[in-house]
Amino acid sequence: MPKLLVASGIFYPEPGGPATYLRALLPALQKRGWQVRVLTYGASQADGDCPYPVKRIERKSYPLRLATYALAAHRGLAWADVVYSHTIDLPLWTRRRAPRIMKVVGDQAWERCLRKGWIPPELGIDDFQQLAGDWRIDWQKRSRSRQVAAQDAVIAPSMYLRDMALGWGVGPANIHVIYNALPAMELPSEPRHSLRARLGWGDAPTLLTVARLQRWKGIDHLLEALAGLPDVRLVVAGDGPDRARLEGLALPLGERVQFTGRLPAADVLRRMKAADGVALYSAYEGLSHTLLESLRVGTPVLASAVGGNVEVVKAGINGLLVPHVDIAALRAGIVELLARRAELAANTPLGLEKFAFDRMVAATDATLRSLLA
């Protein structure tokens, strides 16, 4: 049985796309004959519900966590036939060179420069690719490109991210586009009107946005658009470093905006079904699980026309795409979504076959096996 070491920066139950993806994928790979071990940063906890070993390295001081991760990685690398990474800058140092593959879900150089304040918040990920002149930014970009291009193979969850990785120097033959997908899941059976009543939403038009609260998720733009739509409510599900700022921006809107914090997956799905629409107005998305979940539940989506969003949303059919950033267009999009809700909701299943879970697993399995000597 081939042995797969999965190296990540986050893992279930932490929120985020990589954690969601790996939680669904790894048991399916085990059924296809892979032995799996996971190495990740995160607080120590029991992992009895995971059918494979999970080693968590606590996020202490930088030198200590780096050294601890490197030691654990050394042992895992000696064991593995293939190493599957989900972030850059992991200390995967060893003389033994097992084939390595990385999944690219965004540009961590851009995200890091945003967090450190080296670039303005309004600078998008696409414009960042052309930015040069600041040695700190140039170093981050070179480091990212070098690490990704050094992989034996790269998985991109969208054509958008494939094209971005090509710009980092990855060879076309080494990039495999494998769309994200959702496993079979239990959808809410309670009628929509009953869910709305239980949530206390009443008949007011209600949008839901689900995200880690970071600046580039564009929730501040949703709040600005809502200021001109006095009858519309917004429910913000998620937590993150931008929450305090967003709550301050939402104060003038009063009870029309609700911050729920992070919710269990089942509660998110109930709110998705109850909502008139799910809004995702990010500055970029690689391939959003939130959009796929909303369409699976049967709720139309309103998304920024950026990144992988345009590969998920059939504009005018199962949802709407609006320019980013354009508050007037966003406001008009909300009005159109609410007016066409029934029509768009009826079309939510269209195109989801491209994001079939079995297809994603089979393609990932084949790509991993192609690296075995």
Is the same domain home to 38 and 163?
yes
H/E stretch holding 260 reads strand 257-261
The reply to whether 156 and 294 lie within a common domain is no
If asked whether residues 239 and 334 sit together in one domain, one would say: yes
Model pLDDT, residue 61:
87
Q: Where are the beta strands (DSSP E) in 26-129?
A: 35-41, 54-57, 82-85, 100-103
Model pLDDT for residues 141-164, shown as the tens digit of each residue: 999 999 999 999 999 999 999 999
138 in the same domain as 75: yes
pLDDT of residue 363: 98
| Residue corresponding to tokens 């960042």 | 128
Residues 321 and 363 both lie in one domain: no
Rounded distance between C-alpha atoms, residue 203 and residue 201, angstroms = 6
In a domain? residue 260: yes
Single out the residue of 49, 47, 4 nearest to residue 26, CA to CA: 4
Q: What is the pLDDT of residue 46?
A: 61
Confidence (pLDDT) at 45: 75
Q: How far apart are the first and last CA of the chain?
A: 13
The pLDDT value given to residue 48: 62
Q: What is the CATH number of the domain that holds 89?
A: 3.40.50.2000
Looking at residue 134, what is its pLDDT? 93
Return the pLDDT at 338. 98
- Its domain, for residue 81, covers 3-182+355-369
| Number of domains composing the chain | 2
CA distance to 131, 133, 236, 271, 285, per residue, from 263 (Å):
37, 42, 10, 10, 21
Lookup result for tokens 């992989």 = 151
In a domain, 75, yes or no: yes
93 domain residue, yes or no: yes
Same domain, 172 and 197: no
- Residue 187 is assigned to a structural domain of this protein: no
Same domain for 338 and 268: yes
Provide CB contacts within 8 A for 201, sequence distance 6+: 233, 274
Residue among 48, 26, 29, 40 at smallest CA distance from 76: 40
Query: What is the enclosing helix (H) or strand (E) of 311?
Result: helix 309-312
Answer yes or no: do 197 and 284 share one domain: yes
- 142 and 234 in a single domain? The answer is no
Model-level pTM greater than 0.75? yes
What backbone phi and psi angles, to 5 degrees, belong to 277?
-170, 160
**Same domain for 337 and 231?**
yes
Q: C-alpha angle 34/38/39, rounded to 5°?
A: 150
- Using N-to-C axis directions, what is the helix angle for 289-297 and 265-274, rounded to 10°? 60
Closest by alpha carbon to 145, among 162, 118, 165? 165
**What are 199-229's pLDDT values in tens digits?**
999 999 999 999 999 999 999 999 999 999 9
Domain match, 263 and 169 both: no
Q: Is residue 270 part of a domain?
A: yes
**Within a domain: residue 289?**
yes
Residues with pLDDT less than 70, the chain: 46-48, 96, 373
- 281 and 240: one domain? yes
- The string of DSSP codes covering 193-213 is HHHHHHHT-TTS-EEEEE---
